Every structure is written in C-alpha cells, then in structure tokens.
Amino acid sequence: MAVTTDIVRTWRSPRVVMRELLSHGQREDRAIAYVMAACLILYVAQWPRLKRAEQFELFGPDGASDFQMNAGIAFFSMIIVWPLMLYVVAAIAHLIAKVFGAKGTHYTARLALFWAFLATTPVGLLFGLTMGLIGAGPAANLVGFVWATAFAWIWSQCIRVAEGETHAL
C-alpha cells in the first residue's frame, strides 16, 4: 500500500499496520526512508515559524533577514542531527525492552520509532502552521500536546508489536 494510506490507517489501528510493515522483512532502506521523509516534512513545517520570526521578532544587527541562516540551521538539525538522535533513542528503547524480556531486534525497534515519527508528521505540519500564523500561545500548546500524545500512543502500540511478537526476519 501507499505510505500515505498506511499513515491514515496507523491512526486507526497502528498495530495492524506495524505487523504489515514487519512482514516485509528487514528492509533497512525503508526504515531510513521513513525517518528521512519525516525529518524533511518537519523541516518544511518549520518554514512558517521561521518566516514569522523574521518578520516580527528577529532581525540582524544591520536589519538584514536571518531567515536563510535560521533555515540552514534548521535544515542541518532536521536532516543530520534528528535522524542520529532517533537511532540512539530506538537503541535505548530496544535495550530497555530487552531487560523486560522483549523478543524484537534493533531493526524492529527502529522501524517502530521511525514509523511513529512519520505517521505523526501531519500534526507536525499543523503545529508548524500554527506557530507561523498564530505564534506561541494556547493554540500552539494544544496542537503540540495533541502531537506529543499521538506520537506517544502510536509509538507505544508499534513498539509493543515490534518488541512483543516474534517475527521471521
């Protein structure tokens, strides 16, 4: 199925989608594609916030725009730093699960985290729009809370499948 269809299905039944993703076998190329796509989408989601900051808050010492500099920093952060951080988080989550008798692998833990991250990017886009159009405040806090809650719920369901069930990989 298409990734976009799987994202929509994940919001209804994340365990079913995770089982299907794991049934494809160990596909590291897919896992890295998921995390890179999510990071690229979330990088684009920051543009409205960065543009708002340029127009209303931050100006260079000579009145010049800092948008390009801030966009470059955000690009480096989202495309280089975030994927590396997510690899570390997945490894730590897998090791913690192993302590409790999990049967998964490092790959299954990575896939669960990366997929949950990608599946929640639509709310990340909404968060970026909220920060860009309205700015920080109750609306952004609400959207951020929904995003964090959705991510935690979807990841918990995916990691449960990834670490709790035996897979022929």
Q: Are 84 and 110 a contacting pair, CB within 8 Å? A: no
SS3 22: helix
CA gap 159, 109 in Å, rounded: 6
pLDDT value at position 70?
A: 78
Give counts: helices (H), strands (E), the chain: 9, 0
- pLDDT reported for residue 168: 45
Q: Which two tokens stand for residue 55?
A: 């127009």
List the chain domain ranges.
3-164
**pLDDT one digit per residue (tens) for the chain, 169 residues:** 688 888 888 899 899 989 988 888 888 888 899 999 999 999 999 888 888 877 766 555 555 567 777 788 889 989 999 999 999 999 999 999 888 888 888 899 999 999 999 999 999 999 999 988 888 889 999 999 999 999 999 999 999 998 886 444 4
pLDDT confidence of residue 167: 46
Sign of the CA dihedral 159, 115, 155, 15? Answer: negative
